[in-house]
Chain A
Amino acid sequence: MKPWGEEHTVIEGDTDKTRIFLPQEEGKEAPEEKEGPLIFAWLVGLTEPHLDRSFRIASERFSIGKNPGNNLIIPVPYVSAQHASIFFIDGAFSVDDLHSSNGTTVNGVRVERAPLKDDDIVAFGPVSYRFKWLPLEKEE
């Protein structure tokens, strides 16, 4: 197991660089190694029950629906159990409607599948959100 703590670079002599790890602080857990690309996107609620609340989209698949187990749970009528999914594929976002009863709209237009860009308004049945995305360059 890799000892984990604060990482420091120690320069010995002129050229030797040694990385050391200071002892782990008590009660502080090592962060999990995150797999997949770094994704920074959010849904910010524009209506109840999530007015002014924000939800981070950090994975390549983000599910929305009434059922527990979805990444975003919207416990209101007219939202289907598995309502929609947001995907991050090849550096771009899209939303898929999962044959929901009351549909998914992007900027007011009902869609089966549509690309998502920063500031789009996406609605699942009667509940709408603003989609925000911070694109990152490859090396990040």
Chain B
Amino acid sequence: MEDKTRWEEVDKTRIEGMVGDKTILAPRRLVGWVAVVKGPRRGEDFPLFEGRNTLGSSFPSQIILHDPNLSAEHLSIRFRDGAFSLFDLDSEAGVSLNGERAFHATLADGDGIIAGTSSFKVKFL
């Protein structure tokens, strides 16, 4: 039988307790936003939480921009140990950070990211 469980990295500091065999996780802390300035979701904002935030065109991305030029899981923005970083998740169209192709980079407040036909900025709390 096909194993449908999806491996996910769990931040152990978020574990509040157990109910039966289910782990109860504390709500993740808000650490910033993604602000869409161009593309099908222009004008919308999406929260960024502590840990890993994936962005793409469809499930299982956490931030879904409905941009046909994005891969399903296109990129991730991670907040860990007080720093933000950007990862290209082997996307077809690639990721551009402040005008340059990026695969893995450290993010600064207000940085501009282009992916597919969407462009957006990151704002840190």
Contact = CB atoms under 8 A, between A and B. Distances in A.
Given A132-B123, A134-B110, A6 B68 contact: yes
Contact of B38 (A52, A54, A135, A140): A140
A26 B125 CA distance: 37
A42 interface: yes
B37 interface: yes
Nearest to B124: A132
A38 B36 CA distance: 10
Given A42-B33, A134-B123, A34 B43 contact: yes
Nearest to A53: B30
Given A38-B43, A56-B45, A44 B121 contact: no
Nearest to A54: B30
Interface string A28-61: 0001001000101010100000001010101000
Provide the main secondary structure of the chain A interface.
loop
Given A6-B68, A44-B30, A38 B125 contact: no
Provide the main secondary structure of the chain B interface.
strand
A136 interface: yes
Nearest to B37: A140
B75 interface: no
9 contacts: A6-B68, A34-B43, A38-B37, A40-B45, A40-B123, A54-B47, A130-B125, A134-B35, A136-B37
Interface of A: 6-8, 31, 34, 38, 40, 42, 44, 52, 54, 56, 58, 130, 132, 134-136, 140
